[in-house]
């Protein structure tokens, strides 16, 4: 074992013909917490090194291969199209932060691109030998998928249990490379057995370790190879694409092993040699075994499977001997007759013909039929649903009943979203009622079987917050510093962690360890962490799905998930149907039911009267609590300026208050033009056709793409590529080049720079939060229907809204309050009248009153409520009778008493609670089950102090999060002077005003540069407070933590929209404890969707006038107890 390497290898370049090397074993970061490079980076580096091939072989997984495939495609395209990829910026989708991340520079090319080999590193439960399995052809790939599915389906989520036996049975069609982990001797038998089973397909992998014993281990490997007749092949056993990732690899090891970097010890990588190496390096290392290098090339030529071969077969959906296309045509015409009872116009007929033809050419008929079948199933079960997405707004879908938005309302043309050259599947999402979506999902599993249907995965990435917390912990930053760093993230924009903030935390940014930590945090952001299930994207196949992709169990019961996510599926052109859930649909369906029960007409989304003036009047004054999509504060402010009068106005309304148009600066020009403050002009005649309906301002994603074609001279393919770069290849940052081309293209055609800039900024915004017209139209439909219901059946709407909670933007307190403002009587919870759900009661004057249901009681279980309702008979006359008959637990009785539900039987809350407290057993004792006169225990009567109003209000909030008695501010108001009630705000003279109210929303939108918007509520109404960033910095703690605020500032009015610009803010939360109740911190709880402040706040009940002992007691159960 003497002499090892010579500096220059002569054998390799003998005769000037260079031998080529293909890397056959790389671990990407889809082997979670192990691999230290993205698959994209590995591929790009392989191109740079001029390798003949690279195999992505993650541990028991194929999750990363599509990324690598897409990256290779992108590189190919960049070479052929001569677009250099140079942006280094990467966006953390979750926190909307830009960080320096993966960068792909255009490689220097003097060699053909490497071949991508799809593969897996099989790690077995009963053997220390790892196997790199590389499918040779489609058959081999299918076998590999089946093998992985087998292992994954019998293991819990995220694991794969395979044994050596499985391998001996199911590895045909693959090249297998054994990678012994420990002792070579023990491995021999197994390898020999494999070599016997799969003759000439088994190899022995040999990886250099650079630990001084390489030559010796190569020689031993050689011996083993002789003994087992598995030829030796060189592999790199690569963990990272570049040596600089060693630090990250060590950090990942720490995360995996749950230790800090200082305790990592020998688990750290001794050097950075597990990087991707070029053939020169490998040839030098394997100088004495050149055949091992040459053999990689043999294997590369043998493995000819490419992901593009996955000829994916969609279920035919043919039925009764009728082909899919025929069936679609028949159903479409049937539907048209229903939709247009008076016959179809020439235009519609033309459209239908055109669309059907296109569907036929592209062969997507079965896809439409699948969607149709699912919708029909949902309808048969009475589940409300609506399709959306570009293809959903076609006339075919309108005829099939997938959507109720008529194609005439939309400007778009069908082929724009489904064109031949795009060769991409159409996009239909179907929304279902959120409470009943699971039924639809299980129906799909049942209909197609688990071997044919599966949900997409979602890759959960390291996000900024998690990255700081976890990497920081590994690097040994103290909890203090960590919570400081993460605490500062709230509402932070721009780069990962900026230096000023660090200095503010009292840290030294030039500290070496801190610098390393921050850099590693930046590197780890965007790393995949684990797979989760997609919200509802189904992949359905004609043949076996487990031959297309491995299937694994999801964390949720009865769900199975494939390993690829949405982007991967897009890349491979696999169709998916999105089965999504939408709370508003539940609400609308419940509302329809309520109206029918109370003698109203039978309604459906399609039969709700369109273009109703009263409904639009209501929308114009922003009376929209509970209305879908337009209930948020921003929308409410925008409605009075937008003044929607027709359906298309609503479509725009839904689309415009979004990050895309806001970042693109399109909102103001649009509103000015609409209000006639600015002349409507078009940058050019061609664009008039594109932007006509939106007054010359691009608002929708489709328009942006059309601008690229019409105004910037992109071909449709390029525009499509641009869109895909935005959506799929965000990571690779191809945007920069497009920007130049786009803007130059527009300038050449005579548009001005400002307009071009704005258009492109908007396109970028769309990339993240794209909102196409078709989606907007579907949402606008629901917005209109919910507005119509609110306008014409307010009681039923409020009732349905409460019964569909949790959903929407507002808490029940605001919904009830809004209902009462619309003069609907709201009746309190009563054990003798309430059901589980809220319901409507007919009043003597014929109007409907809303009776609150038991579901409004915090902590009440549906089962208990059902018992109470079912055993009610003619009503309960006292608490024991309820207890005996309904058989509910004492806990449930307590909940009822707390919610004051016994008033109906003549018991005040406190007395009821006193009685309930005496019941301590969970079930009645048999002896007292039927108390006979004189045998029941007589308790001495106790007169408890009467509950004052303040206490009663707090009790209401504790039990139900709302009160029908009084508003807390009403009770506190006398102790203030000079406070303007909110209802007065529109009338008082402009100037300095002070208001006081409970905080109901607290928002800090990413698009508003640090401004915080607060909504306060008092007994008369709500007020909108704007806190500028400077004021916020000053009152930061109060704004974030308080529940009751007193705000002074200047009024601003625009039409009916009133804003208070805060100057001075005071925390008045302590006033709530003056209401005299120990649990006053229940007053002023906000919902997460309406409050951006950190959640921990609620639990710490900051702002309460606490005696220190109280807090101490809460934290530490006093040690005086023995």
Partner 1 sequence: MKRRVVSLWFPSMSSELILRKEHYEGPFAVVAHIKNGNRLLCLSTMAEQRGLKRGMGLADARSFCPEIQTVEHNLQADVAFQNSLVRWAKRYCPWVGKSGIDGLYLDVAGSAHLFGGEDAMLHDMRARLIRSKLTVRIGLADTVGAAWALARFGEGCAEGGRTGQAISALPVASLRISAKEDTTLQRLGVKTIGQLANLPRATIGQRFGPSVLMRLDQALGDQSESISPEANPQTYSTRLTFPEPIGLAKDVMAGVERLLLRLCEKLTQDMMGVRVLSLICRRIDGADQQVELRLARALRDQQRILPLFKKGVDGIDAGFGIDQLRLVATQVEVLQVEQVAHSQTQYNSDGLHDLMTRLGNRIGLENIQRFLPAESHIPENSFIVSPAAWSESVGSWGNVNPRPIRLFPPEYVAARGHRPPNRFNWRAMSFTVGRIIGPERIAPEWWLEDENWRHGVRDYWKVETLEGHRLWMFHTPQNPNWFVQGVFA
1065-1104 residues in contact with partner 1 (CB under 8 A) are 1067, 1077-1079, 1094, 1096-1097, 1099-1100, 1102-1104
Give the one residue of 128, 166, 250, 639 binding partner 1; rule: CB under 8 A.
250
Using CA atoms, how far apart are residues 669 and 518, in angstroms rounded to an integer? 41
Minimum gap (Å) between residue 920 Cβ and partner 1: 8
Output the DSSP codes for 152-202: HHTS-TT-----HHHHHHS-TTEEEEEEE-S-HHHHHHHHHHHHHHSTTTE
Using CA atoms, how far apart are residues 690 and 708, in angstroms rounded to an integer? 11
Closest to partner 1 by CB, 247 or 762 = 247
Closest to partner 1 by CB, 187 or 371 = 187
Facing residues of 826 across strands? Answer: 850
The one-character DSSP state at 1101 is: T
Closest to partner 1 by CB, 412 or 1047 = 1047
Closest to partner 1 by CB, 266 or 1030 = 266
Q: Which residues of 199-214 are buried (b: 16+ CB within 10 A; e: fewer)?
A: eebbbbbbbbeeeeeb
Give the one residue of 561, 618, 630, 947 binding partner 1; rule: CB under 8 A.
947
3-state secondary structure 537-599: EEEECCCCHHHCCCEEECCCCCCEEEEEEHHHHHHHCCCCEEEEEEHHHHHHHHHHHHHHHCC
Find all residues with CB under 8 Å of 245, minimum gap 6, and list them.
36, 37, 239, 272, 275, 523
Question: If we measure between CA atoms, which residue out of 733, 687, 511, 550 comes closest to residue 38?
Answer: 733
CB 863 within 8 A of CB 845: no
Task: Considering only the stretches 30-38, 52-60, 813-821, 934-942, report the one whose residues sit in contact with partner 1 under the rule CB under 8 A.
Answer: 934-942
Using CA atoms, how far apart are residues 348 and 344, in angstroms rounded to an integer? 6
Using CA atoms, how far apart are residues 962 and 815, in angstroms rounded to an integer? 10
Minimum gap (Å) between residue 28 Cβ and partner 1: 22
Minimum gap (Å) between residue 555 Cβ and partner 1: 22
Q: Which of residues 884-913 bind partner 1 (CB under 8 A)?
A: 898, 910, 913
Task: Considering only the stretches 242-250, 386-394, 812-820, 1082-1090, report the one whose residues sit in contact with partner 1 under the rule CB under 8 A.
Answer: 242-250
**Is 917 an interacting residue with respect to partner 1 (CB under 8 A)?**
yes
Closest to partner 1 by CB, 269 or 722 = 269
**Is 1119 an interacting residue with respect to partner 1 (CB under 8 A)?**
yes
Closest to partner 1 by CB, 421 or 512 = 512
Give the one residue of 377, 914, 928, 1028 binding partner 1; rule: CB under 8 A.
914
Minimum gap (Å) between residue 327 Cβ and partner 1: 57
Burial of 332 from C-beta contacts in 10 A (0-12 / 13-18 / 19+): buried
Minimum gap (Å) between residue 521 Cβ and partner 1: 14
Three-state secondary structure call for residue 74: helix
Q: Which of residues 183-212 bind partner 1 (CB under 8 A)?
A: 210-212
CB 54 within 8 A of CB 279: no
Closest to partner 1 by CB, 163 or 271 = 271
Give the one residue of 115, 246, 434, 790 binding partner 1; rule: CB under 8 A.
246
**Is 976 an interacting residue with respect to partner 1 (CB under 8 A)?**
no
CB 889 within 8 A of CB 865: no
Closest to partner 1 by CB, 265 or 341 = 265
Give the position of tokens 């206490």.
951
Any idea what the Cα angle at residue 288 is, between residues 287 and 290, rounded to 5°? 70
Minimum gap (Å) between residue 897 Cβ and partner 1: 10
Closest to partner 1 by CB, 846 or 940 = 940
Give the one residue of 265, 601, 609, 873 binding partner 1; rule: CB under 8 A.
265
Closest to partner 1 by CB, 863 or 1110 = 1110
Phi and psi based region of residue 846 (left: phi greater than 0; alpha: psi -120 to 50; beta: remaining): left
Give the one residue of 13, 413, 847, 918 binding partner 1; rule: CB under 8 A.
918
Give the one residue of 163, 495, 753, 1113 binding partner 1; rule: CB under 8 A.
1113
Minimum gap (Å) between residue 809 Cβ and partner 1: 24
69 to each of 11, 53, 191, 380, 732, how far by Cα in Å? 33, 12, 31, 42, 13
Token pair of 769 as six digits: 């939060």
Number of residues located near partner 1, criterion CB under 8 A: 91
Closest to partner 1 by CB, 3 or 932 = 3
Three-state secondary structure call for residue 808: coil
**Is 4 an interacting residue with respect to partner 1 (CB under 8 A)?**
yes
> Would you say how long the chain is, in residues?
1122
Closest to partner 1 by CB, 653 or 951 = 951
Helix (H) or strand (E) holding 98: strand 97-100
Minimum gap (Å) between residue 993 Cβ and partner 1: 25
Closest to partner 1 by CB, 570 or 1067 = 1067
Closest to partner 1 by CB, 247 or 581 = 247
Minimum gap (Å) between residue 957 Cβ and partner 1: 13
Q: Which of residues 474-533 bind partner 1 (CB under 8 A)?
A: 475, 479-480, 483-484, 486-488, 490, 504-506, 512-513, 516
Three-state secondary structure call for residue 834: coil
Minimum gap (Å) between residue 498 Cβ and partner 1: 15
Minimum gap (Å) between residue 192 Cβ and partner 1: 26
Chain-centroid distance of CA 882 in Å reads 45
Q: Which of residues 1007-1046 bind partner 1 (CB under 8 A)?
A: 1036-1038, 1040-1041
**Is 389 an interacting residue with respect to partner 1 (CB under 8 A)?**
no
**Is 341 an interacting residue with respect to partner 1 (CB under 8 A)?**
no
Minimum gap (Å) between residue 182 Cβ and partner 1: 11
Minimum gap (Å) between residue 931 Cβ and partner 1: 16
Question: If we measure between CA atoms, which residue out of 671, 710, 678, 676 comes closest to residue 694?
Answer: 671
Q: Which of residues 833-892 bind partner 1 (CB under 8 A)?
A: none
Closest to partner 1 by CB, 548 or 958 = 958
Helix (H) or strand (E) holding 257: helix 246-257
Q: Which of residues 766-785 bind partner 1 (CB under 8 A)?
A: none
Any idea what the Cα angle at residue 95 is, between residues 92 and 101, rounded to 5°? 20
Question: If we measure between CA atoms, which residue out of 198, 195, 187 comes closest to residue 206?
Answer: 187
Task: Considering only the stretches 338-346, 378-386, 441-449, 1109-1117, report the one whose residues sit in contact with partner 1 under the rule CB under 8 A.
Answer: 1109-1117
196 to each of 201, 206, 511, 1078, how far by Cα in Å? 10, 20, 59, 77
Using CA atoms, how far apart are residues 17 and 55, in angstroms rounded to an integer? 24
Minimum gap (Å) between residue 455 Cβ and partner 1: 32
Chain-centroid distance of CA 299 in Å reads 41
Closest to partner 1 by CB, 72 or 514 = 514
CB 32 within 8 A of CB 470: no
Site string for partner 1, 266-295 (x = CB under 8 A): xxxxxxxx----------------------
Minimum gap (Å) between residue 472 Cβ and partner 1: 13
Using CA atoms, how far apart are residues 391 and 181, in angstroms rounded to an integer? 52
Give the one residue of 181, 213, 442, 975 binding partner 1; rule: CB under 8 A.
213
Burial of 755 from C-beta contacts in 10 A (0-12 / 13-18 / 19+): middle
Find all residues with CB under 8 Å of 888, minimum gap 6, and list them.
864, 867, 868, 882
Give the one residue of 26, 61, 247, 1020 binding partner 1; rule: CB under 8 A.
247
Closest to partner 1 by CB, 237 or 1067 = 1067
Closest to partner 1 by CB, 108 or 1120 = 1120
């Amino acid at each position: 074992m003497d002499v090892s390497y010579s500096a220059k290898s002569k054998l390799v370049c003998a005769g000037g013909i260079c031998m080529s090397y293909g890397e056959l074993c790389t671990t990407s970061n889809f082997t979670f917490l192990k691999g230290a490079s993205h698959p994209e980076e590995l591929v790009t580096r392989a191109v740079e090194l001029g390798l003949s091939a690279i195999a992505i072989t993650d541990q028991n997984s194929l999750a990363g291969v599509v990324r690598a495939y897409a990256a290779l495609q992108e590189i190919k395209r960049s070479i052929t199209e001569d677009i250099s990829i140079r942006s280094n910026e990467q966006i953390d989708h979750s926190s909307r932060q830009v960080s320096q991340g993966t960068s792909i520079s255009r490689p220097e090319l003097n060699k053909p691109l490497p071949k991508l080999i799809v593969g897996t590193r099989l790690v077995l439960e009963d053997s220390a030998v790892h196997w790199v399995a590389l499918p040779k052809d489609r058959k081999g790939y299918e076998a590999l998928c089946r093998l992985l599915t087998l292992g994954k389906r019998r293991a819990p989520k995220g694991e794969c249990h395979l044994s050596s036996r499985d391998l001996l049975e199911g590895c045909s069609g693959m090249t297998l490379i054994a990678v012994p982990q420990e002792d070579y001797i023990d491995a021999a038998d197994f390898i020999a057995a494999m070599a016997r089973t799969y003759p000439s397909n088994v190899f022995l992998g040999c990886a250099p370790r650079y630990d001084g014993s390489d030559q010796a281990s190569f020689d031993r490997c050689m011996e083993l190879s002789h003994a087992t007749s598995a030829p030796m092949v060189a592999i790199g056993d690569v963990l990272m694409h570049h040596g600089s990732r060693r630090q990250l690899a060590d950090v990942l090891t720490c995360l995996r092993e749950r230790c800090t970097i200082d305790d990592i010890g020998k688990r750290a990588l001794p050097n950075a040699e597990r990087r991707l190496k070029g053939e020169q390096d490998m040839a030098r290392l394997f100088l004495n075994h050149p055949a091992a290098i040459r053999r990689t090339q043999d294997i590369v030529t043998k493995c000819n499977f490419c992901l593009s071969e996955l000829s994916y077969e969609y279920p035919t959906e043919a039925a009764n001997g009728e082909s899919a296309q025929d069936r679609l045509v028949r159903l479409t015409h049937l539907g048209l007759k229903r939709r247009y009872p008076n016959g179809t116009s020439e235009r519609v007929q033309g459209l239908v013909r055109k669309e059907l033809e296109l569907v036929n050419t592209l062969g997507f008929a079965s896809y439409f039929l699948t969607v149709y079948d699912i919708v029909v199933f949902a309808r048969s079960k009475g589940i409300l649903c609506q399709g959306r997405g570009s293809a959903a707004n076609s006339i075919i879908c309108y005829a099939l009943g997938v959507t109720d938005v008529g194609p005439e309302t939309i400007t778009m043309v069908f082929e724009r979203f489904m064109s031949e050259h795009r060769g991409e599947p159409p996009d239909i999402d179907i929304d279902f009622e959120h409470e009943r979506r699971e039924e639809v999902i299980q129906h799909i599993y049942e209909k197609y079987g688990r071997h044919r249907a599966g949900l997409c995965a979602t890759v959960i990435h390291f996000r900024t917050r998690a990255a700081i917390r976890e990497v920081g912990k590994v690097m040994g930053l103290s909890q203090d510093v960590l919570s400081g760093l993460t605490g500062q993230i709230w509402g932070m924009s721009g780069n990962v962690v900026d230096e000023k903030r660090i200095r503010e935390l009292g840290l030294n940014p030039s500290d070496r360890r801190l610098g390393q930590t921050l850099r590693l945090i930046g590197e780890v952001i965007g790393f995949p962490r684990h797979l989760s299930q997609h919200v509802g994207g189904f992949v359905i196949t004609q043949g076996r799905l487990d031959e297309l992709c491995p299937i694994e169990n999801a964390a949720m019961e009865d769900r199975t998930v494939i390993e690829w996510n949405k982007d991967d599926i897009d890349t491979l052109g696999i169709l998916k149907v999105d089965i999504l859930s939408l709370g508003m649909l539940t609400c609308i369906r419940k509302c329809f039911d309520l109206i029918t029960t109370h003698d109203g007409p039978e309604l459906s989304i399609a039969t709700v009267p369109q273009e109703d003036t009263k409904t639009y009047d209501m929308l114009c004054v922003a009376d929209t609590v509970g209305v879908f999509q337009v209930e948020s504060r921003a929308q409410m402010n925008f409605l009075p300026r937008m003044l929607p009068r027709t359906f298309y106005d609503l479509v725009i309304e839904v689309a415009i208050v979004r990050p895309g148009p806001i970042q693109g600066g399109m909102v103001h020009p649009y509103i000015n033009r609409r209000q006639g403050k600015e002349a409507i002009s078009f940058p050019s005649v061609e664009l008039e056709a594109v932007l006509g309906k939106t007054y010359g301002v691009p608002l929708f994603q489709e328009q942006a793409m059309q601008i690229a074609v019409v105004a910037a001279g992109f071909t449709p393919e390029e525009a499509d590529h641009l869109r895909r770069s935005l959506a799929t290849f965000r990571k690779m940052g191809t945007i920069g080049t497009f920007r130049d081309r786009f803007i130059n293209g527009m300038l050449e055609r005579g548009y001005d720079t400002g307009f071009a800039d704005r258009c492109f900024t908007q396109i970028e915004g769309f990339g993240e939060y794209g909102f196409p017209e078709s989606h907007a139209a579907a949402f606008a439909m629901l917005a209109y229907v919910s507005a119509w219901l609110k306008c014409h059946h307010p009681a039923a709407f409020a009732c349905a809204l409460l019964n569909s909670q949790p959903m929407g933007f507002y808490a029940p307190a605001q919904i009830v309050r809004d209902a009462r403002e619309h003069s609907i009587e709201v009746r309190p919870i009563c054990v003798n009248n309430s059901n589980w759900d809220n319901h409507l009661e007919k009043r003597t004057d014929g109007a409907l009153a809303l009776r609150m249901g038991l579901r409004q009681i915090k902590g009440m279980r549906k089962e208990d409520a059902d018992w109470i309702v079912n055993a009610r008979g003619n009503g309960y006359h006292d608490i024991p009778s309820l207890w005996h008959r309904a058989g509910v637990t004492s806990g449930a009785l307590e909940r009822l008493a707390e919610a004051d539900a016994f008033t109906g039987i003549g018991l005040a809350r406190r007395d009821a609670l006193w009685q309930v407290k005496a019941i301590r057993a969970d079930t009645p004792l048999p002896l007292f089950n039927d108390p006979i006169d004189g045998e029941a225990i007589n308790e001495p009567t106790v007169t408890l102090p009467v509950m004052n109003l303040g206490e009663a209000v707090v009790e209401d909030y504790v039990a139900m999060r709302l009160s029908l008695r009084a508003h807390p501010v009403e009770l506190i108001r006398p102790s203030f002077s000079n406070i303007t009630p909110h209802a007065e705000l529109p009338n008082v003279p402009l100037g300095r005003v002070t208001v006081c109210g409970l905080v109901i929303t607290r928002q800090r939108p990413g698009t508003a540069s640090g401004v915080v918007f607060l909504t306060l509520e008092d007994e008369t109404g709500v007020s909108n407070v704007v806190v500028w960033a400077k004021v916020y910095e000053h009152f930061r703690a109060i704004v974030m933590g308080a529940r009751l605020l007193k705000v002074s500032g200047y009024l601003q009015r625009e039409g009916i929209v009133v804003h208070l610009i805060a100057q001075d803010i005071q925390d008045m939360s302590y006033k709530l404890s003056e209401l005299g109740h120990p649990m006053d911190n229940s007053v002023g709880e906000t919902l997460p969707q309406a409050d951006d402040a950190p959640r921990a706040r609620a639990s710490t009940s900051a702002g309460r006038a606490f005696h220190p002992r109280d807090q101490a007691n809460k934290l530490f159960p006093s040690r005086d107890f023995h």
